[in-house]
Structure 1
Amino acid sequence: MRKYYQLVLFILSIVSLVCFLIYKHEYDRLRNVLEVLNVFGSIVTDGPQAITGNPEICHNGSLEYIPDFWHQYSDLEVYSAFKTVNEKGWSINTLAIVTGNLSLLFKQISCALISEDVSDDKFEGTIEWKRIETDNASMAYTIVCNVPEMIGNSYLLSLYNSKTPSEILNVPLHLGTAHLKEKATSLCIVSNNPYWHVGDLSDFIQYYTLLGADSFYLYHRGIGDQVISALKELTRSFNNITVHLTTWNLPSQSTSVPFLDFALISQDCAWRHEAKRGPSVTVQFGHFLSLPNGWGIKDFLSKTKGHSTEPSFEVRIPLQAICANSSEIEASPIRRARMINPKKQETRSGLLRWTEAPNHPSNPETATLGSTAVKLLTLEHCRTTTSRKKSDEQAVRNFQAVAQNIPRLRNYG
């Protein structure tokens, strides 16, 4: 009997030892994981690095960072470069701001493509200059580089001076896609203000989402963490929209010429949108498009362009400031400096420009505004702290009908 008890105790000891070893192994694994997380943080983060590191997020409706910026070269300032299909096969398009002696510049500047498969070689092309906007000091052009043939895959556009071939500017090339993607309505947003208020930006995107836009290109001069966090929360709430953050380090020549930026951004954004089906629309930040009841932005564009077959259009729309019913306590010092008198409503003119993809952007045809109820509205704070009587204007009532779905905009107008 005693031997039986000893055998049972021996078996229990063996089982306890095995369990202890298993426990120790799992404990060490858990401890190692916790030490790694303590040093490096969570594997899935909410920061911009996590967004840019996962390409699937960009396609499912989220935030995308576009790395293009303006390059200085001689009397040129050059932005992005795109490979696009045309009737001749394909060509390379880029934006440029030109100053100085144009005739001399046109004679000296040449273009070529550089292949990633052929080292230290370039394939020269013929260059075309197409003016899209001008002012007294500088002119905005698209540069078209036509290369008859090449070996391998192109990945850089090269611009160089024929008199000094060692001075070269290489611009990374967006290759695009041969197949059209899903339908989308892109809103290309131009801003003269270097700083964005988080609430204003969120309201603006939500408003145009309700009008039917689902892809937003924000051309900015620099963006902070608060704005990025707000945009991330917005794209989580509206999981069918994509926001593209595009750096727009303004060319020195055009800093005082807003309409040059409008034309350049409209052209650049149409190229970025080109692989999709649907319009790319350029609008000034803070200009809310008020449409007749039941209209979306696609309805407005189709009715405004009429039966024209042109790919690009622009229309002048009455621009009116309306009162945002906010108290002086709610308004920041910067906003209080811009307060309007609600009794004085000056009607000006705002611009809307669009290109119907998959067509290439061109010099826009002037479209005719077919409805007097259509306006562009800007929201300004009033000088009085008392609530303003609701407007009887149809355009303002139409704006209010859409804005009722956005908490911060419910009392505006």
Structure 2
Amino acid sequence: MQSLSEKSKCHYSQPLHDPITPRQVDGTMRKYQQLALTIVTVVSLVAFLFYKHEYERLRYTLEYLDTFGKAPSEAEDIRPHCGYNTHHKVSTAPTDWVQVTSDLEVYSSFWDNQNGIGDPKIRSIAAVRKTTESPSDLSCLIWFDYEGTPAPGTCSVEFASERVHGHNTVEEDIGVLYLLCTADSKKLMLSKTPYMIQFKVGSSEPSQPVFVHESESLKSVINKSAVCLLPVENPISTLKVIEFISFYNIIGIDKFTIYGPVLTPLARYLLDKYSDEIGIEFEEKLFSSSQTFKLTRPVVKRVIELDCIYRHRDTQENVLILDLDQYVILELKATLQETLLALKGGSQYHRDVAAFHFTTQKVCLDMQHMKKGTLRLSQQVHTVGSMKEMGVAVLRPHLLTASAIGGPPNNQHISAATAVIHQYSVCSSTDNHNERRHLPTQKKFVDKLEKSLLYRKWIIN
């Protein structure tokens, strides 16, 4: 009986491995699905980060090409240097100028549609050594949208006309001119937009490419003004930059094109962060000296003036080309636009006046009145010398560029009782100056500057 009982126990005992139930199958499948989903998620994330990195590299390269005309090398260190006047994208000297010959270099190019009068052309701003003749066998290669190869073209030379008002009278060794280029195929010039041009002399190799700035003729220019700020020769303080931009923003300037380097790292940070809130636009355009010859200050001003006019011809009604020490002091009206409208002739100036000339007065600041943390413009000021015309003017790009194919532009002088340019400097011990009241003459400008968001953010930072 005992043996039967043991057999029965053996017979009815549970098997060593239970068969897999449907519930267990479902649980196992869920684990595999979760594992597969995790793998897919990780792979997708890695792919996203990789392609995002590649996209950023491509975007940076395109921006670099658009600014400097050649791609950055892999070994290039793009970290900004410490100190004054650094740029947030490059640390090496930019090659703004493109060399065509040892005596001819190009700074910038613009798509000039001739305002519908005549055939469109590419207008390039260049500098040439006057002791040599411009090459007679100058040609070009023009790159058009949706075209895989460049189209051959021809170029002619046109010296830029000098502005009569206040330009330098000393004979310079370097002249400023236009290179006017068109493709041999008229169909391409009329139907497609060029984006890059290379120059050739005879059978020589083509130059480095120059990007063509496209016109924005659909935008309105009424009541919009811009300042083009010339490069500085010495390091500057953030306060000086912030004062300048805040002041001109108060009198109605909403666009600043800064040729430099000019901006300090702190000034750039403040503008990047608060420009939308303040209601201004700004762009930096690095300006280096020519690769072949040294440019004097008057030539630099002339090149930047032409570049500024063509750069803003379809977006801004007025432009001023200024040094960091030059301030437009409005005696009667609060804004530049109101001042122009109040001039003799009223709204007639909208039709035919291409340049409004200012009188300039040199003023200097007495060092004993300079105090840390206060506005430079609110200090005790002494004047030096008499009022003169130094070439500062409100220029109207859409009329000046049209005058290239029309007659000479009309000019108008602004009396010192209406507005004057103050050229600031620091008084030296040898200056023979007469004491004057605080400048600017209307205290409201200083009050507004002290309330300016940009100035207050500079105080905080």
TM-score using structure 1 length: 0.69
The aligned residue for residue 107 of structure 2 is 79
The aligned residue for residue 287 of structure 2 is 248
The aligned residue for residue 5 of structure 1 is none
Residue 237 of structure 1 deviates from its aligned partner by 3.3
Contact 2:358 2:419 (8 Å CA) reproduced: no
d(CA) in 2 for partners of 1:277 and 1:100?
Answer: 33
- Find the partner of 1:284 among 323, 342, 361: 323
* 1:17-56 paired onto structure 2 within 5 Å: none
d(CA) in 1 for partners of 2:425 and 2:109?
Answer: 38
Contact 1:289 1:377 (8 Å CA) reproduced: yes
Matched, 1:126 2:156: yes
d(CA) in 1 for partners of 2:437 and 2:26?
Answer: 83
Pick closer, same or farther for the CA change 1:232–1:219 going to 2, 3 Å.
same
- Cα deviation, 1:347-371, whole Å, max 9, x if unaligned, reads 5555423332433446875531234
Residue 215 of structure 1 deviates from its aligned partner by 1.3
- Find the partner of 1:138 among 155, 158, 173: 173
Residue 224 of structure 1 deviates from its aligned partner by 5.9
d(CA) in 2 for partners of 1:320 and 1:222?
Answer: 22
Residue 268 of structure 1 deviates from its aligned partner by 0.3
Amino acid at match of 2:210: P
Residue 291 of structure 1 deviates from its aligned partner by 1.1
Contact 2:359 2:416 (8 Å CA) reproduced: no
d(CA) in 2 for partners of 1:272 and 1:98?
Answer: 21
TM-score using structure 2 length: 0.63
Pick closer, same or farther for the CA change 1:31–1:167 going to 2, 3 Å.
closer
- Find the partner of 2:204 among 166, 184, 193: 166
Pick closer, same or farther for the CA change 1:407–1:130 going to 2, 3 Å.
closer
d(CA) in 2 for partners of 1:381 and 1:99?
Answer: 36
Contact 1:315 1:367 (8 Å CA) reproduced: no
Pick closer, same or farther for the CA change 1:33–1:261 going to 2, 3 Å.
same
Residue 156 of structure 1 deviates from its aligned partner by 3.3
Residue 191 of structure 1 deviates from its aligned partner by 3.0
d(CA) in 2 for partners of 1:197 and 1:64?
Answer: 17
Residue 299 of structure 1 deviates from its aligned partner by 2.4
* 1:4-403 paired onto structure 2 within 5 Å: 69-72=96-99, 73-86=101-114, 87-102=117-132, 105-106=133-134, 108=136, 110-116=138-144, 117=147, 119=149, 121-132=151-162, 135-147=170-182, 149-152=185-188, 153=192, 154-161=194-201, 164-177=202-215, 179-183=217-221, 184-221=224-261, 225-238=265-278, 240-251=279-290, 253=293, 255=295, 257-292=296-331, 294-303=333-342, 307=348, 309-322=352-365, 326-327=370-371, 342=380, 344-347=382-385, 349=388, 350-361=390-401, 366-372=411-417, 374-377=419-422, 391=437, 395-397=441-443, 399-403=445-449
Amino acid at match of 2:283: H
Q: Which moved more, 1:356-365 or 1:366-375?
A: 356-365
Residue 83 of structure 1 deviates from its aligned partner by 1.1
Residue 76 of structure 1 deviates from its aligned partner by 1.6
Contact 1:322 1:342 (8 Å CA) reproduced: yes
d(CA) in 2 for partners of 1:391 and 1:270?
Answer: 36
Report the 3-state secondary structure (helix = DSSP H, G, I; strand = E; otherwise coil) of the residue aligned with 2:358.
strand
Pick closer, same or farther for the CA change 1:312–1:169 going to 2, 3 Å.
farther
- Cα deviation, 1:291-314, whole Å, max 9, x if unaligned, reads 135431222344558556143444
Residue 233 of structure 1 deviates from its aligned partner by 2.2
Pick closer, same or farther for the CA change 1:230–1:23 going to 2, 3 Å.
farther
Contact 1:319 1:378 (8 Å CA) reproduced: yes
Pick closer, same or farther for the CA change 1:277–1:20 going to 2, 3 Å.
same
Contact 2:362 2:383 (8 Å CA) reproduced: no
d(CA) in 2 for partners of 1:203 and 1:393?
Answer: 14
Between the aligned residues of both structures, percent identity stands at: 13
d(CA) in 1 for partners of 2:34 and 2:149?
Answer: 58
d(CA) in 2 for partners of 1:156 and 1:81?
Answer: 9
Amino acid at match of 1:355: L
d(CA) in 2 for partners of 1:274 and 1:64?
Answer: 28
d(CA) in 2 for partners of 1:118 and 1:23?
Answer: 48
d(CA) in 1 for partners of 2:360 and 2:172?
Answer: 28
Contact 1:115 1:122 (8 Å CA) reproduced: no
d(CA) in 2 for partners of 1:30 and 1:229?
Answer: 37
Amino acid at match of 1:69: D
Contact 1:323 1:380 (8 Å CA) reproduced: no
Report the 3-state secondary structure (helix = DSSP H, G, I; strand = E; otherwise coil) of the residue aligned with 2:113.
strand
Pick closer, same or farther for the CA change 1:224–1:382 going to 2, 3 Å.
closer
Amino acid at match of 1:244: E
Contact 1:273 1:357 (8 Å CA) reproduced: yes
Contact 2:111 2:215 (8 Å CA) reproduced: no
Pick closer, same or farther for the CA change 1:312–1:32 going to 2, 3 Å.
same
Residue 189 of structure 1 deviates from its aligned partner by 0.8
Pick closer, same or farther for the CA change 1:298–1:65 going to 2, 3 Å.
farther
The structure with more strand, counted as a fraction of residues: 1
d(CA) in 2 for partners of 1:293 and 1:315?
Answer: 15
Residue 151 of structure 1 deviates from its aligned partner by 4.8
Q: Which moved more, 1:285-294 or 1:348-357?
A: 348-357
d(CA) in 1 for partners of 2:263 and 2:447?
Answer: 31
Contact 1:140 1:264 (8 Å CA) reproduced: no
Amino acid at match of 1:139: I
- Cα deviation, 1:279-333, whole Å, max 9, x if unaligned, reads 12212113222213543122234455855614344433334235685436x69xx
Structure 1 alignment gaps of length 5 or more: 1-9, 54-62, 332-337, 384-388
Pick closer, same or farther for the CA change 1:107–1:168 going to 2, 3 Å.
same
